[in-house]
Amino acid sequence: MDDAPMVGLMGRVTGTVGPGLVGEVIVRVRGGAEHFLAHPAPGTGRIEPGTVVMVVEYLPPRTVYVTGAYDG
């Protein structure tokens, strides 16, 4: 995935992300949509399915840290 930077991409939660949980998000990348295991970014609480998120850290090959895209 080196050809497609992940940080800053938007996705949608498909499995609850939260402290102590390994959730799941779907992210549009490389001309398609792919699922990634997801953890909340530090200081981020529970993120429910359907929430739009932004990738803030990527750990190859399939793990991302996310935060709510529209958090104030």
| pLDDT at position 30 | 86
What's the whole-model pTM score? 0.89
What residue ranges in the chain does DSSP mark as E strands? 10-15, 23-29, 32-40, 52-59, 63-68
Given a contact cutoff of 8 angstroms between Cβ atoms, the answer to whether 60 and 29 are in contact is: no
Q: Average of pLDDT values for 13-33? A: 95
Q: SS3 of 40, please?
A: strand
If you average pLDDT over every residue of the chain, what do you get? 92
Helix (H, G, I), strand (E, B) or coil at 47: strand
Please say if the pLDDT value at position 3 is more than 60.
no
